């Protein structure tokens, strides 16, 4: 086929194309013609009238006010005592480590500003304190350290039914700081043997790898700053008898059950060997020569660690340390030894103990009940005001006389048909 025939054939095909002369459709940004996109969905717009609004105010007030009263009542049933023992070794007098009735009492009353107590019976004796030096042996490491011991004498005025919860409370400690919260390696906590290079490039920095090149276990700022004051059991100055006539010398508590039920699943037994890792800097005085020897801590079963790793949202917080869910806390005078090692002066914080009970609504916190009462009271007050206004000066629904153009005063130009200055 010649070149001329090919050109003629192409022109013939083009002339037969039905879409050749059709104009191109312009792109439109108009939304599709649907009820949703064109805002044509059916809607109900209630007309607010006094007959519908006023009952709502009173209903909300009648419901919220009793709920608030019940919440406040439940909060008031919690029995607790809180003692701030910050700077115990510099503020309290030096005392004997153990109570000796023949030698008399060498403790002094704690300033009332440091004590907050709520019991069913009135406290006849104010809490007292003192401090001493003692050796504490860490288990199972076997390392013994000499440390300050804060001694608290607490008089419980009446028997308290279980559960008895023992908390420590810190102030001005910002566990919610972004860098602090991120300073953890989740995979390491689950049991993975993370290498030094993996941790260095992760979120644990600057506490990821020790100067000797070994990884910290556990790494990060949260683990390194774990609360390390140690609390003993409550010991009675004078033994009492229980309902069966058995002599009671102390009130024992356990750390079992202090963490949430699911938290143990977030941690696993590590695949590290003791020689592969080193403890965080603030843990090293608990281990021989600052190194792991026989075994590594089992984070899966260490509930105190799990409680600390659950970071608090506010700078003032309480964390559960130990508890007793079975035994009644008998009335009497108890001594509590606190091996004081956690520094709070560096960040202008305080530390306290809190011994408390619970109710069906939890611990002592009247805020929710007060909030319900305030809302309920405001609704009843506003309902009464609006009802009185409606009865004294009612307003007809849809009255056209209230429209603005019906209330405008006519000008002189409108009434006379000429300007006022003419």
pLDDT tens profile 90-121: 999 999 988 876 677 889 999 999 999 999 99
What's the start-to-end Cα distance of the chain, in Å? 98
Predicted local distance difference test score (pLDDT) of residue 205? 83
What's the pLDDT at 18? 54
The whole-angstrom separation of Cα 108 and Cα 86 is 15
Domain boundaries along the sequence of the chain: 50-78+364-390
Q: Where are the alpha helices (DSSP H) in 270-325?
A: 303-309
Element (H, E) at 241: strand 234-241
Longest dimension (CA), the chain: 132
Instruction: Determine the pLDDT at residue 11.
Output: 53
CA–CA gap between residue 255 and residue 257 (Å, rounded):
6
* Cβ contacts of 314 within 8 Å, gap of 6 or more: 176
Predicted confidence (pLDDT) per residue in 31-83, tens digit: 888 988 888 898 888 888 888 899 999 999 999 999 999 999 999 999 999 99
Residue bearing tokens 């979120």: 203
Angle made by CA atoms 220, 346, 311, in degrees to the nearest 5: 40
For residue 252, CA distances in Å to 151, 210, 278 come to 17, 39, 33
The residues pairing with 235 across neighbouring beta strands, listed in sequence order, are 250, 335
How far is residue 81 CA from its own chain's centroid? 20
Closest CA to 110 of 81, 77, 85: 85
- Count the Cβ atoms, other than its own, within 10 Å of residue 91: 15
Question: What does the pLDDT look like over 139-166, one tens digit per residue?
Answer: 877 889 999 999 999 999 999 999 999 9
pLDDT for residue 374: 98
Mean pLDDT of the region 242-268? 89
- pLDDT on residue 369: 95
Least confident of 46-50, 125-129, 176-180, 416-420: 416-420
Share of the chain above pLDDT 90, in %: 67
Q: What is the predicted pLDDT for the residue at 85?
A: 97
Residue 2's pLDDT band (cuts 50, 70, 90): low
Does residue 414 have a pLDDT over 90?
no
Q: What is the pLDDT of residue 19?
A: 53
User: How large is the average pLDDT for residues 12-22?
Assistant: 54
pLDDT 10s digits, 223-237: 999 999 999 999 998
Q: What pLDDT does residue 422 have?
A: 43
């Amino acid at each position: 086929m010649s070149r001329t025939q090919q050109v003629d054939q192409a022109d013939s095909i083009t002339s037969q194309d039905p879409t050749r002369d059709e104009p191109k459709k312009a792109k439109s940004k108009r939304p599709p013609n649907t009820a949703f996109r064109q805002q044509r969905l059916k809607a109900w717009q209630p007309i607010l009238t006094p007959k519908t609004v006023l009952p709502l105010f009173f209903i909300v007030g009648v419901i919220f006010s009793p709920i608030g009263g019940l919440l406040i009542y439940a909060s008031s049933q919690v029995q607790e005592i809180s003692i701030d023992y910050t700077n115990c070794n510099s503020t309290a007098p030096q005392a004997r480590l153990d109570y000796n009735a023949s030698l008399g009492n060498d403790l002094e009353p704690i300033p009332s500003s440091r004590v907050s107590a709520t019991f069913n019976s009135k406290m006849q004796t104010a809490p007292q304190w003192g401090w001493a030096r003692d050796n504490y042996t860490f288990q199972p490491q076997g390392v013994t350290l000499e440390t300050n011991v804060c001694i608290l004498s607490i008089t419980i005025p009446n028997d308290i039914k279980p559960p008895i919860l023992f908390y420590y409370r810190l102030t001005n400690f910002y566990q919610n700081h972004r860098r602090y919260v991120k300073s953890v390696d989740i995979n390491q906590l689950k049991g993975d043997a993370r290498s030094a290079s993996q941790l260095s490039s992760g979120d644990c920095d600057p506490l990821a790898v020790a100067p000797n090149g070994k990884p910290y276990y556990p790494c990060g700022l949260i683990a390194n700053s774990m609360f390390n004051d140690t609390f003993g059991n409550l010991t009675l100055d004078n033994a009492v008898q229980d309902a069966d006539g058995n002599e009671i010398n102390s009130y024992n508590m356990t750390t079992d059950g202090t963490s949430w039920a699911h938290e143990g699943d977030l941690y696993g037994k590590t695949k590290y060997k003791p020689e592969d890792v080193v403890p965080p800097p603030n843990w090293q005085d608990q281990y021989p020569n600052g190194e792991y020897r026989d075994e590594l801590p089992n984070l899966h079963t260490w509930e105190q660690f799990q409680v600390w790793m659950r970071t608090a949202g506010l700078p003032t917080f309480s964390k559960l340390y130990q508890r007793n869910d079975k035994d009644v806390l008998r009335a009497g005078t108890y001594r509590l030894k606190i091996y004081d090692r956690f520094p709070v002066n560096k960040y202008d914080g305080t530390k306290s103990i809190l011994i408390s009970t619970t109710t069906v609504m939890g611990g002592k916190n009247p805020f929710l009940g007060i909030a319900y009462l305030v809302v309920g009271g405001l609704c009843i007050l506003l309902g009464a005001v609006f009802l009185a206004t409606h009865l004294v000066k009612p307003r007809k629904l849809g009255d056209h006389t209230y429209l603005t153009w019906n209330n405008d005063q006519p000008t002189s130009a409108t009434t006379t048909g000429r300007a006022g200055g003419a």
